[in-house]
Amino acid sequence: MKVLIYNVDSLTLLVEVEPGLPFTFNCSSEECGKEIIIEGIVRIVDELEFNRVLENTISENPDFERIKEITARNLIFEGRVNGKRVKLPVESMDNFAKRFMDEVLVLR
């Protein structure tokens, strides 16, 4: 499953994962502007846990205020980004595409 992980060292990264299985993702400084190593797991969670992670992310980095619009609130990343333990909101590409079509490309 392709997912967007939000606020990975202030970036949004597209990664391919299997929910529930550990993974490692390396993004070079050429690709991301800085070296990023992600190690952890994307978990399926209830909406309350997702909302807590979302609010913590936004309070840490207000640039991510727009992700409040995420409608499918059931995935988080839990692990390490460059050695720092984090919990971050995640959105599947399928849900992102649907949200984009519904909210941005509304033809009236």
Q: Region 16-29: what's the mean pLDDT?
A: 97
Residue 15 to residue 30: CA distance in whole angstroms:
17
What is the structure's pLDDT at 108? 54
What is the structure's pLDDT at 71? 87
List the beta bridge partners of residue 90. Answer: 5, 75
Q: Is 6 exposed, middle or buried (0-12, 13-18, 19+ CB in 10 A)?
A: buried
Q: Which two tokens stand for residue 1?
A: 């499953």
35-75 per-position pLDDT tens digit = 999 999 999 999 999 999 999 999 999 999 999 989 899 99
What global pTM score does this model have? 0.91
Identify which has the larger pLDDT, 107 or 10.
10
Residues 6 or more apart from 33 whose CB is under 8 A from it?
A: 11
Q: Which amino acid is at 31?
A: E
- Residue boundaries of the structural domains of the chain: 2-103
What is the structure's pLDDT at 55? 97
CB 73 within 8 A of CB 50: yes
What is the structure's pLDDT at 34? 96
